[in-house]
Amino acid sequence: MKRILVGLSGGVDSAVSAALLLEQGYCVEAAFMHNWHSDSHSKCQAHEDYKAALSVAEHLKIPLHSID
């Protein structure tokens, strides 16, 4: 079985990509990249994105690696 690592943002595109790869028989693992640190003035909160990615990974039953 071929293994593949998918960048998982928690958004629809990466989630569907991971799901399609699973359907095709790949052994899928996911990685979430922390590219910034959240602050109270930012519209995009990294911890919220990570929670979304974690939720997708749990739903798909794939491991999620967190990379800083």
Q: Give 5-30 pLDDT, tens digit per residue.
A: 999 998 999 999 999 999 999 999 99
Report yes or no: 5 and 29 within 8 Å, Cβ to Cβ: yes
Identify the pLDDT of residue 44.
63
pLDDT at residue number 23: 97
Q: Which residues contact 35 (CB under 8 A, 6 or more apart)?
A: 46
pTM over 0.85: no
Task: Name the DSSP class of 52.
Answer: H
